[in-house]
Amino acid sequence: MLNFGRTRNQPRSTRSMPFGGLDYADPKRKGNFVGKILLAATLTALCIIMLKQSPSFNVPSKFSQHEEGVVHVLVTGGAGYIGSHAAFRLLKDSYRVTIVDNLSRGNLGAVKILQELFPEPGRLQFIYADLGDAKAVNKIFSENAFDAVIHFAAVAYVGESTLDPLKYYHNITSNTLVVLESMAAHGVKTLIYSSTCATYGEPEKMPITEDTPQVSAKFLVDCSPYLLQCVPINPYGKAKKMAEDIILDFSKNSDMAVMILRYFNVIGSDPEGRLGEAPRPELRDHGRISGACFDAARGIIPGLKVKGTDYNTPDGTCVRDYIDVNDLVDAHVKALEKAQPKKVGIYNVGTGKGRSVNEFVEACKKATRAKIKVNFEPRRPGDYAEVYSDPTKIRRELNWTARYTDLQESLSIAWRWQKAHHNGYLSSS
């Protein structure tokens, strides 16, 4: 056994000193010093050998091995709004979860909360990486044994996509290709893909079914010789549609199980207040209606702007289908459970009920109990009058129905989190 006590028992004068006490040319001391360095090096080497021989050292991480009865899901974009709620639900349902996120839009705070809730080894790991880096993604796949991928990671603002379309094609379309190639190379056989109702453009007929053409009928008449232009109107929708097409083409000659979920407008947050929606402040201008409602209630913005009151809708304002994030993640879990090799399922995830912007504003006022100033302005180019889903297919095939359909209730829950987190995940006051 190593005698660690020996140096301690030496007289005080020969004990090693702080570095300042060793700068004299005392040959005895120098020899002693060199000896101690050698001893330290030997001890370090011995420790490494002992550690390597200890049973726990060589045990591979739980994430790197498939385990009977455990489904390991890679959640891309799991630090984001929907991804963090989905990771939470998967962890509660005993899935093993790896989150990959570059934190460009998401919040490390959300991941930390999940880590605190599920600290046991093999439950949750976070990997900081950019999905545009094919080498890094491939390495992640080679070091981890995934059973399935839920691909949420994306930039996701319609307005921003019209200003910076290349960012959208790169981040959404090309990164999906990177993920898919890694899945194929490493034999990961189940993919759940986050798509959007924006892929439908502006359909002539409501509600939107999965068979509604992903082209604008209006545009089709105008541009039939140039079919490439007859795809969904904004670059965000187009980038998602292209990603869908890549997945569908790949799946034709593969045994992959694929589910494509096209979400409508997502609102709400965890009813127990652990997670919420915390977009980057600089993205406020491009933001979504629920974010604008809370910002107006907090006085961060002067009020709400309702753009367009002369649409052909019951009260003249746009109509949308608001889906609660808790229902949405439930749809993902059902999709994961029902995914079949060599099969593709495409599903709308919405409530089936359209609500006008006016209705939303009233629900927001009641949920926040704030005096919110509302300005009515002209229409915004590119906005569609009505968008709402027909959820028959997902109900029939996945046995999924939206349960959180009370707009005010969903907004009240989200508002509670917002009120307690003035700076998003950076604060809780």
Of 72, 73, 80, 295, which lies in the binding site for ligand NAD, with binding defined by CB under 6 A? 80
Which residues, numbered 184-243, are part of the site for ligand NAD (CB under 6 A)?
Answer: 194, 196
Q: Is 201 helix (H, G, I), strand (E, B) or coil?
A: coil
Give the binding range for ligand NAD (CB under 6 A) out of 50-58, 125-133, 336-344, 352-360: 125-133
β strands within 211-297, DSSP E: 257-263, 265-267
292 belongs to the binding site for ligand NAD (CB under 6 A): no
Any idea which residues carry the catalytic annotation?
236
Count of beta carbons in the 10 Å neighbourhood of residue 369: 9
The residue from 74, 75, 79, 191 that contacts ligand NAD (CB under 6 A) is: 79
Element (H, E) at 76: strand 72-76
Identify any residues that bridge with 155 across adjacent strands, giving them in sequence order: none
Asked if residue 192 lies in contact with residue 259, where contact means CB atoms within 8 angstroms, the answer is yes
**Rounded CA separation 51/39 (Å):** 18
**Cα 78 from Cα 63, distance rounded (Å):** 16
For position 263 contacting ligand NAD by CB under 6 A, the verdict is yes
Contacts of residue 320, defined as CB under 8 A and 6 or more positions apart, other chains included, come to 264, 265, 289, 354, 355, 357, 360, 387, 388
Q: Does the protein bind ligand NAD through residue 175 (CB under 6 A)? A: yes
Q: Supply the Cα-derived Rg of the chain in whole angstroms.
A: 28
Report the C-alpha gap between 346 and 339 in whole angstroms.
Answer: 11
Q: Which stretch binds ligand NAD (CB under 6 A): 5-13, 119-127, 152-160, 331-339?
A: 152-160
Q: Nearer Cβ to ligand NAD, position 140 or 225?
A: 140
Nearer to ligand NAD, 32 or 102 (CB): 102
| Per-residue exposure over 250-262, b if at least 16 CB sit within 10 Å of its own CB, e if not | bbeeeebbbbbbb
**One of 72, 75, 83, 275 touching ligand NAD (CB under 6 A):** 83
Q: How far apart are CA 164 and CA 155, in angstroms?
A: 11
Span near ligand NAD by CB under 6 A; candidates 87-95, 103-111, 114-122, 376-384: 103-111
Work out whether 154 is an interface residue with ligand NAD (CB under 6 A): yes
Nearest-approach distance from CB 114 to ligand NAD, in angstroms = 13
- Please choose, out of 14-22, 100-108, 331-339, 389-397, the segment that lies near ligand NAD by the rule CB under 6 A: 100-108
- Per rule CB under 6 A, is residue 290 in the interface with ligand NAD? no
Q: Which residues bind ligand NAD (CB under 6 A)?
A: 77, 79-83, 101-106, 130-132, 152-156, 171, 175, 194, 196, 263, 265-266, 288
